[in-house]
Structure 1
Amino acid sequence: MENHPTYKDLAPICQKYPRAAGCFFQAYNDILFSQQWEDVQIIDVEATKRGVITGRKPNTEKSLTVVPCALAESLSTSWLRSIFDNLAPSPEEIYLAITSEDSSIVYYKISKGIVKPPI
């Protein structure tokens, strides 16, 4: 990981939160290279002990927020709430980038509050 070209941008977050470094590195590179998002930025969210990724999908104007986490992690609703509470401005939705050891990533959309599904 340390030899990858993107590591110099990710090093401050990876070194500060080593338990989340692998999933953060994997999600960041997927968003940047595979999905080719634009305006990709890293935000340090100390309350969640990890970095968060923001950016825009190609040819869109809406900024999205991605929270990398590992498949083996236990998540709670209070932890998810702290993500919304510690981002300014607080997004209406976030995407959990759940990574596994085989390098696969699944993105889950988490909305703030109770949201009625579209019909």
Structure 2
Amino acid sequence: MATTDIISLVKNNLLYFQMWTEVEILQDDLSWKGNSLRLLRGRPPHKLSNDVDTEHENSLSSPRPLEFILPINMSQYKENFLTLECLSQTFTHLCSPSTERILLAIINDDGTIVYYFVYKGVRKPKRN
């Protein structure tokens, strides 16, 4: 599956199935092992986890913060394409400096998508 197909699939899933808003494809890309990585950015309809408690998220009138999403194909995940170095480069070159986490969107061959949080650095686990 081509990179543009993967990005479009994840964007449509976020917009029409997960009900995200303000989903956009970022223009910056990162060349990694012969492939081009691009991020999506969007606003989820609800709080995604209990790990980040800030005043911004506790306010009912303010919108949810924007999240960054890294779409990859399952075959890339299995072939050691996604390494710690790759994730470090993604945080450094594609995300804003204040970004603490990204959502990893892994697309299977049948079109299903699973989402995982990937954090910058080591994080203490939190209870849900």
CA RMSD of aligned residues (A): 1.7
Secondary structure at the counterpart of residue 106 of structure 1 = strand
Secondary structure at the counterpart of residue 85 of structure 1 = helix
Q: Which has the larger radius of gyration?
A: 2
Partner of 1:13: none
2:101 to 90, 93, 98: 93
Partner of 2:87: 80
Quote how far apart the aligned CAs of 1:62 are.
1.6
Quote how far apart the aligned CAs of 1:82 are.
0.8
**Alpha carbons 1:44, 1:50 under 8 Å: kept:** no
4+ residue runs over 4 A deviation: none
Quote how far apart the aligned CAs of 1:45 are.
3.1
Question: RCO higher in 1 or 2 (8 Å CA, sep ≥ 6)?
Answer: 2
Identity of aligned residues (%): 28
Higher helix share goes to which structure? 1
Partner of 1:39: 22
Partner of 1:114: 122
TM-score, structure 2 as length reference: 0.72
Secondary structure at the counterpart of residue 24 of structure 1 = helix
Structure 1 segments unaligned to the other structure (5+ residues): 1-17
TM-score, structure 1 as length reference: 0.77
- The question of 1:66 aligning with 2:63 is answered no
1:54 to 35, 41, 46: 41
Secondary structure at the counterpart of residue 72 of structure 1 = helix
Structure 2 segments unaligned to the other structure (5+ residues): 47-62
**Alpha carbons 1:71, 1:99 under 8 Å: kept:** yes
- The question of 1:103 aligning with 2:111 is answered yes
**Alpha carbons 2:23, 2:41 under 8 Å: kept:** yes
Counterpart code for 2:41: T
